[in-house]
C-alpha cells in the first residue's frame, strides 16, 4: 500500500529549508519505498515576494514543528505563491489525502489554493486532482480539474459551506476513477469529518498521481493570511479520521463486558462501500472514561494510566464491569496533546442479569418510560421473564403441589 505520513513534516528530505528544518523528525523516503518520492522543495519564497513559508515550532499541531505560510496581502497574485511541494509518480485508481489546517485571515479580496493534490497524463502536465481553496473571508471551497484525453483539463470549484475560525480543522479529500478513460471520476471532500462536497462526472483520463503542495499552490488577487499546516497524510487507502467505540449488545451489570476501541475513516473504501477499520501508523495513546475500564477479560487489571492502540493495529479490546444497572456514556480520546483523530462517545445501558438464568432484563430503560406506567410494565415483564425460566417453572410446580397437599390434609 502506498502511504506516506508527515506527522511533524519531514527532516532529512527538506534539504532546501532553513537550518531549523533539520530538527524535523521523520524522513518521508523511509515511509514511501516504491512511490518515487523525489523530496520536498521550497518554492516561491523569493525576497520581496510579499509571502513566506517556513518550518516553525509555533505552527505545530502535534509534535515539534509545523509549516507556516504568511502573506501580508500587499501584492496581487495570479499563479503559484510560496509553497512546499513534493512529487511522486504512482499509478492508482484513487488517492486519499488529509491535513490539519489553522488559518488566521487578515484581509484582501482574493483566495489561494492551500492544499493541492495533483494527477497527470503522459501528454500533459499536472492538474488539480483535488484541492481546498481559502478565500480572504476564510471561506473554504472544494476544487478539482478533470484530465481530458488530449492532456487538457476541465474543472470546477464549489463552496463547502464551512468557514475557518482561527482554530485547527481537519481537511480531507479523495479522488476516485483515475485511468478509467471516461467521465467516471469522483472527488469527495470532508471538513472535520463532515461532508463538504462531492463532484461526480469528473474527466478521469489521468494515468498517475504526481504530487501535492501546501501553502499557496495557486493564488488569485490579494490574500493576507497566516496558514499553519501539520499532520499531512496521503494514501491509496482510506485514512483515519476519528476514534470509535463499540459494544456488542447491552452491558450486563457486575459482569466483565468487552468494549472495542478502533480507528475509523470518514471516506468510503475504494469500491465505494463503507471503509473498514484503519490501522494506526503510529502508537495512539488513549484516555478512556465513563466507567472504570480494564485491560483483561476478568476485569482485574484497571486501566489507571490509559491504553495504547499499537502501530499496525486497527482496534483494541478493553473491558468494563458496570457496578449497577443504568445508563453509561463511554468516551475515548487521545491523551497526548491536540488530537490527530476526533473523540469517540458511546451512550449505552447496563442491564440487571436474570438470577434464574434467563436473558438480562433492561430495568433502566423501562424505568425511563413516561409516568408510572413504565414501572408497571417493568414489573410485568420481569415476572414474565422469570416465569419463562426453567427454575421459576419448577418453583411454581412445587408451590402448587404444596397447596394441594395442604388442602387434602384439611379435608
How far apart are the C-alpha atoms of 29 and 13, rounded to whole Å? Answer: 7
Same domain, yes or no: 337 and 373: no
Dihedral pair phi/psi, residue 118, rounded to 5°: -125, 145
Same domain, yes or no: 162 and 247: no
Average pLDDT score over residue span 357-370: 40
Average pLDDT in the chain: 77
CATH code where residue 129 lies: 2.60.120.200
User: Half-sphere exposure of 124 toward its Cβ, with a 13 Å CA cutoff?
Assistant: 20
What is the phi-psi region of residue 79: left when phi exceeds 0, alpha when psi lies from -120 to 50, beta otherwise?
left
Q: In whole angstroms, what separates CA 339 from the centre of its chain? A: 10
Instruction: Tell me which of 322, 351, 380 is where a domain ends.
Output: 351
pLDDT of residue 21: 30
pLDDT of residue 394: 44
pLDDT band of residue 265 (cuts 50, 70, 90) is very high
Question: Are the CB atoms for 195 and 78 separated by under 8 Å?
Answer: no
Domain of residue 405 covers 355-411
In tens, the pLDDT along 387-400 reads 333 344 444 445 55
224 or 287: which leads in pLDDT = 287
Same domain, yes or no: 66 and 206: yes
pLDDT band of residue 50 (cuts 50, 70, 90) is low
pLDDT of residue 32 exceeding 50: no
Burial class (CB in 10 A: 0-12, 13-18, 19+), 25: middle
Same domain, yes or no: 274 and 303: yes
Average pLDDT score over residue span 358-368: 41
pLDDT of residue 9: 37
Same domain, yes or no: 157 and 19: yes
Same domain, yes or no: 266 and 145: no
Same domain, yes or no: 116 and 171: yes
CB atoms within 10 A of CB 295: 16
Same domain, yes or no: 258 and 230: no
Kindly give the pairing relationship between strand 77-79 and strand 127-135. Answer: unpaired
pLDDT of residue 275 exceeding 70: yes
Same domain, yes or no: 62 and 108: yes
Instruction: Tell me which of 198, 214, 235 is where a domain ends.
Output: 235
pLDDT of residue 72: 82
Q: Which three cell numbers stand for residue 264?
A: 475509523
Tell me how many domains the chain contains.
3
pLDDT of residue 220 exceeding 50: yes
- 342-346: Cβ within 8 A, 24+ apart: 342/170, 342/192, 342/193, 342/241, 342/242, 342/243, 343/242, 343/243, 344/242, 344/243, 344/244, 344/245, 344/261, 345/245, 346/245, 346/246, 346/247, 346/290
pLDDT of residue 39: 60
In tens, the pLDDT along 51-80 reads 788 877 888 888 777 888 888 888 888 888
pLDDT of residue 19 exceeding 60: no
Q: Which three cell numbers stand for residue 207?
A: 494515468
CATH code where residue 331 lies: 2.60.40.10
pLDDT of residue 400: 52
In tens, the pLDDT along 372-389 reads 343 333 333 333 344 333
Same domain, yes or no: 281 and 346: yes
pLDDT of residue 372: 38
pLDDT of residue 353: 86
pLDDT of residue 46: 53
How far apart are the C-alpha atoms of 134 and 45, rounded to whole Å? Answer: 19
Question: Are the CB atoms for 160 and 140 separated by under 8 Å?
Answer: yes
In tens, the pLDDT along 303-341 reads 987 899 999 999 999 999 999 999 999 999 999 878 889
Average pLDDT score over residue span 6-22: 33
What is the phi-psi region of residue 7: left when phi exceeds 0, alpha when psi lies from -120 to 50, beta otherwise?
alpha
Of 239, 243, 136, 228, nearest to 190 (Cα)?
239
In tens, the pLDDT along 291-306 reads 889 999 999 999 987 8
pLDDT band of residue 254 (cuts 50, 70, 90) is very high
SS (H, E, C) 45-86: CCCCCCEEEEEEHHHCCCCCCEEEEEEECCCCEEECCCEEEE
Same domain, yes or no: 302 and 228: no
Instruction: Tell me which of 204, 235, 266 is where a domain ends.
Output: 235
Edge-to-edge order in the sheet of strand 293-294: 240-246, 257-265, 315-320, 293-294
In tens, the pLDDT along 109-167 reads 888 899 999 998 877 778 889 999 999 889 999 999 888 887 777 888 999 999 999 99
Q: Which three cell numbers stand for residue 157?
A: 470549484
pLDDT band of residue 196 (cuts 50, 70, 90) is very high
Kindly give the pairing relationship between strand 223-235 and strand 240-246. Answer: unpaired
Whether the pTM exceeds 0.75: the reply is yes
Same domain, yes or no: 269 and 402: no
pLDDT of residue 386: 41
Amino acid at each position: 500500500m502506498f502511504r506516506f505520513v508527515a506527522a511533524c513534516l519531514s527532516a532529512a528530505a527538506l534539504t532546501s529549508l532553513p537550518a531549523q528544518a533539520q530538527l524535523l523528525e521523520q524522513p518521508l523516503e523511509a515511509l514511501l519505498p516504491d512511490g518515487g518520492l523525489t523530496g520536498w522543495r521550497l518554492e516561491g519564497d523569493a525576497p520581496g515576494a510579499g509571502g513566506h513559508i517556513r518550518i516553525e515550532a509555533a505552527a505545530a499541531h502535534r509534535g515539534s514543528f509545523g509549516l507556516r505560510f504568511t502573506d501580508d496581502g500587499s501584492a496581487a497574485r495570479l499563479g503559484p505563491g510560496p509553497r512546499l511541494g513534493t512529487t511522486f509518480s504512482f499509478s492508482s485508481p484513487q488517492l486519499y489525502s488529509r491535513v490539519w489546517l489553522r488559518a488566521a485571515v487578515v484581509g484582501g479580496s482574493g483566495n489561494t489554493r492551500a492544499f493541492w493534490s495533483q494527477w497527470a497524463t503522459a501528454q500533459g502536465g499536472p492538474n488539480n486532482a483535488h484541492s481546498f481553496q481559502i478565500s480572504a473571508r476564510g471561506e473554504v471551497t472544494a476544487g478539482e480539474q478533470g484530465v481530458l484525453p488530449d492532456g487538457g483539463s476541465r474543472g470546477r470549484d464549489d463552496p463547502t459551506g464551512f468557514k475557518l475560525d482561527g482554530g485547527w480543522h481537519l481537511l480531507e479529500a479523495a479522488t476516485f476513477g483515475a485511468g478509467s478513460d471516461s467521465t467516471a471520476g469522483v472527488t469527495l471532500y470532508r471538513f472535520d469529518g463532515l461532508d463538504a462536497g462531492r463532484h461526480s462526472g469528473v474527466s478521469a483520463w489521468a494515468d498517475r498521481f504526481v504530487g501535492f503542495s501546501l501553502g499557496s499552490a495557486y493564488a488569485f488577487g490579494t490574500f493576507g493570511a497566516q496558514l499553519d499546516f501539520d499532520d499531512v497524510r496521503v494514501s491509496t487507502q482510506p485514512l483515519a479520521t476519528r476514534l470509535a467505540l463499540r459494544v456488542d449488545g447491552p452491558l450486563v451489570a457486575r459482569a466483565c463486558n468487552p468494549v472495542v476501541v478502533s480507528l475509523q475513516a470518514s471516506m468510503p473504501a475504494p469500491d465505494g462501500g463503507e471503509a473498514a477499520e484503519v490501522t494506526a501508523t503510529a502508537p495512539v495513546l488513549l484516555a478512556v472514561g465513563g466507567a472504570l475500564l480494564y485491560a483483561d477479560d476478568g476485569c482485574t487489571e484497571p486501566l489507571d494510566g490509559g491504553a495504547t492502540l499499537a502501530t499496525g493495529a486497527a482496534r483494541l479490546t478493553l473491558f468494563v464491569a458496570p457496578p449497577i444497572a443504568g445508563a453509561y456514556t463511554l468516551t475515548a480520546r487521545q491523551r497526548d496533546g491536540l488530537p490527530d483523530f476526533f473523540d469517540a462517545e458511546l451512550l449505552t445501558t447496563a442491564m440487571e442479569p436474570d438470577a434464574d438464568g434467563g436473558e438480562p432484563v433492561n430495568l433502566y430503560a423501562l424505568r425511563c418510560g413516561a409516568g408510572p406506567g413504565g414501572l408497571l410494565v417493568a414489573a410485568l415483564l420481569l415476572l414474565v421473564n422469570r416465569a419463562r425460566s426453567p427454575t421459576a417453572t419448577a418453583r411454581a410446580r412445587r408451590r402448587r403441589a404444596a397447596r394441594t397437599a395442604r388442602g387434602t390434609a384439611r379435608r
